[in-house]
Chains A and B, each alone.
Chain A
Amino acid sequence: MDILNALVALLNFVIIPATAYGAQLALGALGVTLIYGILRFSNFAHGDTMAFGAMATILVTWWLQGMGVSLGPLPTALLALPIGILATGLLVIGTDKLVYKFYRQQKAKPVIFVIASLGVMFVMNGIVRFIIGVDDQRFADGERFIISARNFREMTGLDEGLAFRTSQGLTIVIAVIAVALLFWFLNKTRTGKSMRAFSDNEDLALLSGINPERVVLVTWLIVAALATTAGVLYGLDKSFKPFTYFQLLLPIFAAAIVGGLGNPLGAILGGFLIAYSEITITYAFRKVVGYLGPEDWSPDGLLQLLSTDYKFAVSFGILLIVLLFKPTGIMKGKSV
C-alpha cells in the first residue's frame, strides 16, 4: 500500500489535466449557452470562433516575440490576448450585422439560424486555414512548469512525480477570473441585468424599454472574449490545430446541454462534468491501482475502461443519458 504515491499519480494524470480541460470546456460552453439564451440558437460556428480568436492571438504573439517583448515566466500570449479578443469581437459583430441580424428581423425559426451558423462556420474555417494553415502551431513560451516532476520528487522524496504546467495553472486562474467577471457583470450591472431579462422573457424586456440590438451586441462581445480566452488557453495547454477546435464543438455542446442550455452556471458544471468523465474513463489506472495493492505487485491489464480514441464517445454518452432522462439539463435550462 502506498497511498501517497497513488494520490500523486492520480493528481498528476487525472485531476490536474481534467481540471484544466474542464475550465477550457466551461469557457467554451459559456459562450454557447449565452448565445442560446439571448439569440436562441445553437451556434455551430463556436468552435471556429475559438480557432479564429486563438489564431489572432497567436499572430500577435509571434509579432511580440519578434519584437523581443516577453512577460518573463508567463507566456507572451497573455499580452496578445486582448488584441485577439478585439479582433474576434469585430469579426463576430460583423458576422451578426451581415448574417444573423436579417433573420432576427424576419423572426426566422431557430433552425434557420443554425443553418446560417453552418455557413459562418465554413467561412471562418476557411479564413483560419487560409491565414495560418492546417498544421500544429506552438506559441507557448516562458516558464514551462510551475512544479516539474523532478523538482517534486526531490522536494518530497516520493517515487511518483507531479508536474504542474504553467498553462494548466494559468487556465484555472484565468477561468476563475473570467467566470467571476461574467457573473459580476450579469448580476450587478445594468446591461447585465437587461441581458438576463431579455433571456428570460423577450417581450417583457422589450416592453420595459430594453434595446434588443444593444443586448445582442454586448452578448457577442462577451462571447468573443470567452471564446478567444478558451481557444488561447486550450492552445497553450495542448497545441493549436484548426481541426481540433472544430472537434471541440461536441464536448462543448455536450457540456452546455448537460448543464442546461441557456444557464451559465450549468455550463460551468457541465464543462467540468464532461472533462472529468472523459479523462477518468479513458485513463489507464494500472499505476494508481499498482500503488494501492501489495508491494511489488501490479495489475495485469491496463485497467483502462475505454481507449483514449473514444473520448468523444464519453461526452456523447453523458449527453445521451441527460437527453433521455432530463432533457432540460442538470440545472434547469431553457426548452424552446
Chain B
Amino acid sequence: MKSMEPKHLALFGLVIALYLGTGFLQSWNTMLSIFNMGLISCIMALGVNMQWGYAGLFNVGVMGFVALGGLAGVLVAMDPVEGAWGTDGALRILLALILGAATILGAILVWSKLPKGKLRGLAVTTILVAGFFIFRAVFDGGVAVVEAIDPALTGNIGGLGLPVILAWPVGGLFAAGAAWIIGKTALGLRSDYLAIATLGIAEIIISVMKNEDWLARGVKNVTGVPRPVPYEVDLQQAEWFLSLATRIGADPVTFSSIFVKLSYASLFIVVLLALIWLTEKALNSPWGRMMRAIRDNEVSASAMGKNVKARHLQIFILGSAVCGLAGAMMTTLDGQLVPGTYQPLRFTFLIWVMVIVGGSGNNWGAVLGGFLIYWLWIQVEPLGLMLMQGITAGMSEGNALREHLIDSAAYMRLMTMGLILLLVLRFSPRGLIPER
C-alpha cells in the first residue's frame, strides 16, 4: 500500500464513499450484502489477474471454476445422506468414476507406448469404447440407487459433514484439478484456443452440476449449507446479543442480520488480506518478474532457459484455485448451491470487466475493480429504473412503450458493463491503477 500514488488512494476513497453512501441512503443491510459479494468478487478478480495480468493467459471459464468451488461447499459441509453410501450406491458411483479415469489413463498410456500406426488407433479406440460401456454399466446402477433415496429432500450422496470453512481450500483444490486437465491440453496453443477451451469446460461443468442429481441434487438445488457464523434466530434469543443490542440502541432483528453479515465480512476480509499479501509478495519476487518476462516475450524468456509451458500451467492452476476458493466462499455466504444461477455473463465476463477496469497486472487494481464494478452491477439496476421512470414520466399510465421501458430497465446493467469495458479499454487501456 505504501508505494501507492495519491491518485490511486483517492480512487479507493471514492469506492469507500460509494459504499458508505449506500449505507446512509439505502440501508446498512444492503450495503453489507454488496460489500460481502464485493469481497468475493475481489478474490475472483485476483485469480483472473494472476492469469491474465501476470502471465497473459486468457481464461474465459471463470464460471466453471467458481461453480466447482461451490460444489466443494456442498460436498464438504452437508451431512452424508443416510443409506446413500452403501456398496450399491455412492461407492458404486465412486468405483465407476475410478474405472472411467482408468480408461482414459489407459488410453493415454497405450497411445504413448505403442508405435505410430493403425494398431495404435485401433487399440485406443477399443479401450475407450469398452471403458465407456463398462463405466455406464457400473455407474447407472449406482446413480439409480442414490437418486431413489427420498428424492424430494435428498436423492444425492450428501457431503462429509465437516466444518464449512474446510470447503474453501477444498474448493480451491477442485478448481486446481480441473485447471490442470485443461492446462495440460489447451495451454501452449494459441490464446484464442485457450479461450474457447475454457469457455467450453465451464459450460460442461455447469451442465454436469445441473444434471447429475446424485452429486448435488442438480437443479433441485441444495439449501441449508451449514454456516461458519451464528444464525439470526439464535442471536435474537441469546442473552449477550440482546444486551449488546440494547446497549447500542439497535433493533435486535435488524442488528442480528447486520451482525451476521459483519461476521461473514470479517472472515472474508481475512482471506482477502492474506491473498493480497501473498499475491503482492509473489508478484514482486523473482518468480513474479519471471512471469512478466514470459508474458512480455515468450521467445526470449524461453531462450533464457525458462520453461514457459510449465510456468503457464503453474499460474493457470494457481489462478483457477483462487477462483475456486471464491466459489466455495460464495456458497457459504448464500447457504445454498443453485446451479441455475451460474451465468457466464455474471461469473466470467463481469470478473473480466473488473480486472480490465481495475488495471491488469496490478493486484490493488483487481481489488478496486472488484469493489467498484460489483457495486455498479447492483446499483445500475435501481439507477436504470429511476432513469427510465424519469424518461417516461411524461407518458400516460398504461402506455405500452412506458411499460416496456420500465420492465426492460433491468437489462441496462449489461449495456453499462459493456460500455465501461469498451471505454476503459479504449481510453485507459492499462486500467484505473496501472501495473507498476
Q: B43-85: contact bitstring with A at CB < 8 Å (1 yes, 0 no)?
A: 0000000000000101010000000000000000000000000
Contacts of B402-426 to chain A: CB distance below 8 A: 407-408, 411-419, 421-422, 425-426
Residues of chain B within 8 A (CB-CB) of A206 are none
Residues of chain B within 8 A (CB-CB) of A41 are 192
| Contact (Cβ within 8 A) A323 B345 | no
- Contacts A121-B349, A257-B193, A320-B197 given; does A309 touch B414 at CB 8 Å: no
Q: Which of A118, A129, A131, A335 contacts B349 (CB 8 A)?
A: A118
| Contact (Cβ within 8 A) B422 A111 | no
- Contacts A116-B425, A253-B196, A254-B196 given; does A310 touch B345 at CB 8 Å: no
- Contacts A122-B414, A254-B200 given; does A115 touch B425 at CB 8 Å: yes
| Contact (Cβ within 8 A) B419 A323 | no
| Contact (Cβ within 8 A) A319 B200 | yes
> What's the nearest-Cβ distance from chain A to residue B352, in Å?
6
| Contact (Cβ within 8 A) A111 B191 | yes
Contacts of A300-336 to chain B: CB distance below 8 A: 305, 307, 309-310, 312-313, 315-316, 319-320, 323-324, 327, 335-336
Residues of chain B within 8 A (CB-CB) of A319 are 196-197, 200
| Contact (Cβ within 8 A) B345 A122 | yes
Q: B115-136: contact bitstring with A at CB < 8 Å (1 yes, 0 no)?
A: 0000000000000000010000
Q: Which of A42, A246, A305, A309 contacts B207 (CB 8 A)?
A: A309
User: In this complex, what residue of B is CB-closest to A312?
Assistant: B203
- Contacts A115-B356, A122-B349, A122-B417 given; does A309 touch B211 at CB 8 Å: yes
A120 interface residue per 8 A CB criterion: yes
> What's the nearest-Cβ distance from chain B to residue A65, in Å?
17
> What's the nearest-Cβ distance from chain B to residue A332, in Å?
15
Residues of chain B within 8 A (CB-CB) of A323 are 185-186, 189, 193, 197
B201 interface residue per 8 A CB criterion: yes
Residues of chain B within 8 A (CB-CB) of A134 are 411
Residues of chain A within 8 A (CB-CB) of B193 are 257, 323, 327
Q: Which of A125, A246, A309, A324 contacts B210 (CB 8 A)?
A: A309
| Contact (Cβ within 8 A) B207 A313 | yes
Q: A69-106: contact bitstring with B at CB < 8 Å (1 yes, 0 no)?
A: 00000000000000000000000000000010010000
Bound CA span A305–B345, Å: 31
Residues of chain B within 8 A (CB-CB) of A309 are 207, 210-211
Residues of chain B within 8 A (CB-CB) of A127 are 415
B195 interface residue per 8 A CB criterion: yes
> What's the nearest-Cβ distance from chain A to residue B250, in Å?
40
> What's the nearest-Cβ distance from chain B to residue A86, in Å?
22
> What's the nearest-Cβ distance from chain A to residue B346, in Å?
11
| Contact (Cβ within 8 A) A129 B411 | yes
Q: What is the interface size of chain B, counting residues whose CB is below 8 A from a CB of the partner? A: 45
Contacts of A112-141 to chain B: CB distance below 8 A: 112, 114-116, 118-127, 129-131, 133-134
User: In this complex, what residue of B is CB-closest to A122?
Assistant: B418
User: In this complex, what residue of A is CB-closest to B186?
Assistant: A323
Contacts of A1-54 to chain B: CB distance below 8 A: 41-42, 44
B273 interface residue per 8 A CB criterion: no
Residues of chain B within 8 A (CB-CB) of A116 are 422, 425
Bound CA span A336–B189, Å: 10
Contacts of B336-361 to chain A: CB distance below 8 A: 344-345, 349, 352-353, 356
> What's the nearest-Cβ distance from chain B to residue A120, in Å?
7
| Contact (Cβ within 8 A) A121 B192 | no
A110 interface residue per 8 A CB criterion: yes
Residues of chain B within 8 A (CB-CB) of A187 are none
> What's the nearest-Cβ distance from chain B to residue A267, in Å?
14
Q: Which of A133, A307, A310, A316 contacts B201 (CB 8 A)?
A: A316
Bound CA span A323–B211, Å: 27
B199 interface residue per 8 A CB criterion: yes
| Contact (Cβ within 8 A) B58 A111 | yes
Bound CA span A134–B132, Å: 38
Bound CA span A41–B58, Å: 13
Bound CA span A116–B352, Å: 11
| Contact (Cβ within 8 A) A250 B412 | no
| Contact (Cβ within 8 A) B211 A310 | yes
- Contacts A112-B425, A115-B425, A323-B193 given; does A125 touch B345 at CB 8 Å: yes
B190 interface residue per 8 A CB criterion: yes
| Contact (Cβ within 8 A) B415 A122 | yes
> What's the nearest-Cβ distance from chain B to residue A48, in Å?
10
Q: B185-229: contact bitstring with A at CB < 8 Å (1 yes, 0 no)?
A: 110011111011101110110011011000000000000000000
User: Which 8 A-B pairs rank lowest in CB-CB distance, beginning with the nearest?
Assistant: A122-B418, A126-B415, A126-B414, A123-B418, A119-B421, A316-B200, A119-B422, A129-B411
Q: A130-B412, A310-B208 are in contact. List 20 more A-B contacts (CB 8 A).
A: A42-B196, A110-B191, A111-B191, A114-B58, A118-B60, A120-B418, A122-B414, A122-B417, A122-B421, A125-B414, A125-B418, A126-B412, A129-B411, A130-B408, A134-B411, A247-B203, A250-B196, A250-B199, A316-B204, A323-B189
A-B contact pairs, 5 of them (CB 8 A): A111-B56, A111-B58, A115-B356, A118-B349, A323-B189
